[in-house]
Amino acid sequence: MANQIINKIGTSVIHVDATDGEITLAELKNAAEATVVNADIVEIFYNLKAGASIAIDRGGTDVWKIAAGSSTSNLVGHVNYRSSGIVLRGTSTADIGVTVASFTDSVVTIIVKKSY
């Protein structure tokens, strides 16, 4: 499968199920929006099967990684930067990259707040 991007005005939702080295700002644009110039990652939801991992980068610089242990049950969690008014580090004008490993039956959803 391929990653799915749902673009709403002001927010994009990225459902990750495959490696993608370059999710561009243009891919995050809703047809009714102006050109996106800034994309802040504000939330990450994850459900990783044993041995699965994901790395998120901005413009090629790693900004977030997580891996489930090989002998554990699912690693489930939610990182919420939005509630504290901050965003995931990295350059918000750079492409978003995702790298997954042993990702069968794992799920990661990234919430992106956009500005124009």
Sorted by where each begins, the domain ranges of the chain are: 4-115
Work out the average pLDDT over 99-107.
94
Question: What's the mean pLDDT when you consider all of the chain?
Answer: 93
Using an 8 Å Cβ cutoff, are 96 and 110 in contact? Answer: yes
pTM of the shown model: 0.93
CA nearest neighbour of 58 among 97, 19, 102, 20: 97
Predicted confidence (pLDDT) per residue in 48-102, tens digit: 999 999 999 999 999 999 999 988 789 999 999 988 888 898 889 999 999 999 9
What CA–CA distance (Å, rounded) separates 21 from 29?
A: 18
Residue 1: both structure tokens together:
């499968």
Q: Which residue has the tokens 């005005």?
A: 9
CATH classification of 4-115 is 2.40.128, yes or no? no
CA distance 91 to 10: 18
41 pLDDT exceeds 80? yes
